């Protein structure tokens, strides 16, 4: 979501959202939703719809298509606005703030809850990296053909939320889940630095041990493997707490590739600690320790 999209969001009233929702609904059966259909779904007369569509078009939330008829579809700003509005209506957040992180497949923003607590909002954006790579990384949508970026992003957001819901009550080393809608997840804002950015640390062995202990707890008490773990998905807080983020690719312990994915996670972490801090641990001993009860 760009700064421009945030500005646009603030200019929308409840009837504008009704039009956006009508387009979203219409897009299930139309690539370009005709004005007439938007009017029927929203319950607004056509002239009112045209007036509001002009505004939404100017705010760059919809795409206007001119062919045999005039049709509309939502762009990513339009989808972002609907997700944000739903989170606002659910009293999950009150306002959206500044960007705090851009990942390969997401934009993360700061937001404020009605209780004035700062939280993080992650907009999943699958399909931003190459098709081949996303297929390789995202086994959970493999086999489902022709999913749009939006459908894939919604699946990712739901999966991430489910993982956080399962893990956080057991161990607070993941962000607390706060809400989820469409392709967005609202979660605890972690004040911390990505491990990959930390060049020096007093006791790296302590941090490594913490990470292994967290993985072990999550493996045994939740039956979950991260499956995309690396120094980029571990945040270190100023108090040296270790928080593991970015969960959409998690798998259950019973997943056919569980063993391989667990090994890969541990391998990534050990390789980083060896390169950056010169700590050597045997992969196999760490895996065995992690798996024993």
Among 74, 86, 60, smallest CA distance to 30 is for 74
Nearest-angstrom CA–CA distance, 245 and 120: 12
* Closer Cβ to Mg ion, 16 or 246, answer by number: 246
DSSP state of 220: I
Check if 13 is active-site.
Answer: no
| Angle (deg, nearest 10), helices 204-217 and 283-291 | 40
Sign of the alpha-carbon dihedral angle for 187, 193, 194, 195: negative
For residue 198, the minimal CB distance to ligand ATP (Å) is: 13
| Per CB under 5 A, 103 contacts Mg ion | yes
Do 274 and 231 contact (CB within 8 A), yes or no?
Answer: no
List all residues 6 or more positions away from 64 whose beta carbon is below 8 Å from its beta carbon.
53, 57, 70, 71, 72
Q: Is 247 helix (H, G, I), strand (E, B) or coil?
A: coil
For residue 279, the minimal CB distance to Mg ion (Å) is: 23
Segment interacting with ligand ATP (CB under 6 A) among 12-20, 77-85, 105-113, 201-209: 105-113
| Per CB under 6 A, 231 contacts ligand ATP | no
| Per CB under 5 A, 181 contacts Mg ion | no
Q: Which does 24 bind (CB under 5 to 8 A by kind): Mg ion, ligand ATP, none?
A: none
* Closer Cβ to ligand ATP, 106 or 154, answer by number: 106
* Closer Cβ to ligand ATP, 34 or 127, answer by number: 127
What would you measure as the largest C-alpha separation in the chain, in angstroms? 70
Q: Which does 101 bind (CB under 5 to 8 A by kind): ligand ATP, Mg ion, none?
A: ligand ATP
Nearest-angstrom CA–CA distance, 110 and 97: 5
**Contact with ligand ATP (CB under 6 A) among 71, 78, 175, 179:** 175
* Closer Cβ to Mg ion, 97 or 103, answer by number: 103
Nearest-angstrom CA–CA distance, 92 and 128: 27
In terms of Cβ atoms closer than 10 Å to its own Cβ (0-12, 13-18, 19+), residue 42 is buried
| Per CB under 6 A, 162 contacts ligand ATP | no
- Active-site annotation holder among 16, 80, 228, 265: 228
For residue 188, the minimal CB distance to ligand ATP (Å) is: 6
| Per CB under 6 A, 187 contacts ligand ATP | yes
Nearest-angstrom CA–CA distance, 289 and 293: 8
Among 242, 254, 238, 195, smallest CA distance to 214 is for 242
Segment interacting with Mg ion (CB under 5 A) among 12-20, 55-63, 190-198, 226-234: 226-234
- Write out the binding residues for ligand ATP, residues 243-282 only, by CB under 6 A: 245-246
For residue 26, the minimal CB distance to ligand ATP (Å) is: 30
- Write out the binding residues for ligand ATP, residues 16-75 only, by CB under 6 A: none
Strand partners, 8: none
Q: Starting from the edge strand earliest in sequence, which strands make up the sheet with 242-244, in order? A: 193-194, 234-236, 242-244
* Closer Cβ to ligand ATP, 3 or 285, answer by number: 3
| Per CB under 6 A, 180 contacts ligand ATP | no
Binding site for Mg ion (CB under 5 A): 103, 233, 246
Binding site for ligand ATP (CB under 6 A): 100-101, 103-106, 108, 120, 122, 175, 187-190, 194, 228, 232-233, 245-246
Catalytic residue ranges: 228
């Amino acid at each position: 979501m760009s700064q421009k999209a945030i500005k646009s969001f603030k200019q929308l009233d409840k009837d504008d959202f009704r039009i956006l929702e009508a387009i979203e609904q219409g897009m299930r059966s139309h690539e370009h939703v005709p004005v007439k259909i938007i009017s029927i779904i929203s319950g607004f007369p056509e002239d009112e719809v045209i007036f509001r569509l002009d505004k939404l078009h100017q705010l760059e939330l919809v795409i206007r298509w001119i062919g045999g008829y005039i049709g509309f579809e939502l762009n990513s700003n339009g989808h972002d606005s609907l997700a944000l509005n739903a989170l606002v209506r659910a009293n999950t957040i009150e306002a959206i703030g500044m960007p705090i992180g851009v990942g390969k497949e997401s934009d993360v923003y700061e937001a404020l809850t009605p209780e004035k607590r700062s939280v993080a909002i992650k907009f999943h954006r699958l399909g931003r990296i190459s098709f081949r790579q996303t297929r390789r990384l995202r086994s959970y949508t493999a086999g489902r053909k022709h999913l749009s970026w939006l459908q894939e992003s919604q699946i990712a957001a739901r999966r991430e939320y489910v993982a956080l819901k399962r893990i956080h009550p057991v161990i607070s080393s993941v962000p607390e889940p706060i809400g989820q809608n469409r392709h967005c997840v609202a979660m605890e804002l972690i004040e911390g630095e990505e491990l990959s950015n930390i060049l020096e640390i007093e006791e790296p062995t302590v941090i490594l041990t913490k990470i292994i202990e967290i993985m072990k707890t999550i493996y045994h008490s939740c039956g979950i493997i991260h499956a995309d773990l690396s120094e980029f998905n571990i945040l270190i807080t100023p108090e040296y707490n270790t928080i593991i983020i970015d969960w959409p690719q998690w798998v259950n312990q019973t997943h056919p590739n569980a063993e391989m994915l667990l090994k890969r996670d541990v391998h990534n972490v050990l390789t980083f600690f060896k390169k950056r801090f010169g700590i050597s641990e045997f992969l196999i001993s760490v895996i065995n320790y992690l798996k024993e009860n």
